[in-house]
Copies of this chain bind each other. A is one copy, B any other.
Amino acid sequence: MQNVQKYISENKDRYVSELMEMLRIPSISADPKYNGDCKKTADFVAASLKKAGCKTVKVFPTPGHPVVYGEHIIDKSKPTVLVYGHYDVQPPDPLELWESPPFEPVIKKTKIHPQGAIFARGSCDDKGQFYMHVKAFEAMVATKELPCNVKFMIEGEEEIGSKHLGDFCEANKKMLACDVILISDTSIISNKTPSICVGLRGLSYLEVEVTGANRDLHSGVYGGAVANPLQVLSEMIASMKDKNGKITIPGFYDDVEIVSKTERAAMNKAPFSLTAYQKDLGIRDTRGEKGYTVIEQTSIRPTLEVNGMWGGYIGEGAKTVLPSKAFAKISMRLVPNQKSDKMTKLFTKHFQSIAPKSVTVKVRPHHGGEAAVTPTNTPEYKAAAMAMKATFGKEAIPVRSGGSIPIVALFEKVLKVKTVLMGFGLDSDVIHSPNEHYGLFNYYKGIETIPHFFANYAALRK
């Protein structure tokens, strides 16, 4: 282990500059304009794996963005760890709020990151986090201290629902066979308080369209008599939550996993300050489902959020239009037992049923994924917890995250393998937002911790 850590320490600067090179490629999977950049990033990842010493590397095309696969078998009798990550990133909008361009990474010091942090779209989610594995792997190979077989599967469609990964896994079950899946795409509580993610919410993402008249109208001539789709859509959205913040879709809560009082009590022991939370976000009050703490609202409870909404005249100045159409992008975060497909159907049925006769509505499902809970009594969880203890000098706290990595449930279903979510980000890294960044402390800590995981896992599986 000493040799590995020495190698990492000696190559730190190069590890950062390589990551920054990848961050310069705008691999925005949601926008077809960037298809070429996604391919370019896949090739960059493949080249990195080869350079790191990975024996077999292949870029698999899919009907969407390619999957990069790497395989390094040292001994068939040893356990195999499959590292999953994604090289695609969220769109950078709103661009005007970035302090430096999203695809021109810069290192800046912040209060939380006195060592500096890399500012760029994808720096944390997930280029910075999966690249830690490539670099840790390089160090273990270079020092001949790799104790397990390793497979890499780095995809390019996570931010758009991993659309083609299910088919890819089904078609390549044998190639992907492994003992555990290791993912760094989650966060720790703070740089002083390590944690391991043991739960993820599922997702159902939809787009709705409300149409009133067959054309935009003059709001003076028709206003007051013809349904305004923006008014109607506002009313429909408003009606989908009651005054206690409960979602009103019939059947929405039927399958929700009931978390025991004991578990809830344990969960709420995690360090959390409502005052600090509100101060960080610049808000005077939170707003969620009554009867639950912020920690519970963002982990064990399902949600419905409007991610985007538009219609009518949204340019400079004023236009007295009564628009023909209004749109919204709406997503639901789901908890264990709530099936994404079922929730999509319930939403669609309800949304259509509450539309007044004066409008027509369309609901288009975008993508979805299942919630997942990972057990803490497994060798992989123990290997991760011990690894974090070794590098942070502190016990890691198991926490449920509010985000979604639908692939975790998919892996369990298709590959019959459990996942360990050993992420190193911070909530304050503002992933999905302007000025996303990833601390150098976190990047290095991740690279240092991963070889411990491999060593512990090999030992525990003996």
Residues of A within 8 A of B (CB): 29-32, 90-91, 93-94, 97, 159-161, 187, 201, 203, 205, 207, 212-228, 230-235, 237-239, 241, 281-289, 294, 297-298, 301-303, 305-323, 326-329, 331, 333, 356-359, 366-367, 401-404, 427, 430-435
Question: In this complex, what residue of B is CB-closest to A431?
Answer: B218
Contacts of A320 in B (CB 8 A): 90, 203, 205, 307, 331, 404, 432
Give which listed residue, B307, B316, B328, B358, contacts A285 with CB less than 8 A.
B358
Contact yes or no, A308 B323, CB < 8 A: yes
Determine the chain B residues whose CB is within 8 A of the CB of A430 once the complex forms.
Answer: 215-218
What's the Cα separation between A162 and B43 when bound, in Å? 58
A299 closest partner in B (C-beta): B224
Residue among A205, A329, A401 having the largest count of chain B Cβ atoms under 10 Å: A329
- How far apart are A305's CB and chain B's nearest CB, in angstroms? 5
Query: Within 8 Å CB of A205, what residues of B?
Result: 318, 320
Inter-chain contact A322/B298, CB cutoff 8 Å: no
Task: Kindly identify which residue among B237, B238, B310 contacts A314, using a CB–CB cutoff of 8 Å.
Answer: B310
Report the Cα distance A10→B321, complex, angstroms.
Answer: 38
Give chain B residues whose Cβ lies under 8 Å from the Cβ of A212: 283
CB-based nearest B residue for A308: B312
Evaluate contact between B331 and A318: CB separation under 8 angstroms.
Answer: yes
With both chains docked as a complex, state the minimum distance between the C-beta of A319 and any C-beta of chain B, in angstroms.
Answer: 6
**In this complex, what residue of B is CB-closest to A200?**
B220
Does A222 contact B31, Cβ atoms closer than 8 Å? no
**How distant is the Cα of A323 from the Cα of B331 in the complex, in angstroms?**
13
Q: Chain B residues with Cβ under 8 A from A427's Cβ? A: 221
Contact of A298 among B224, B227, B404 (CB under 8 A): B224
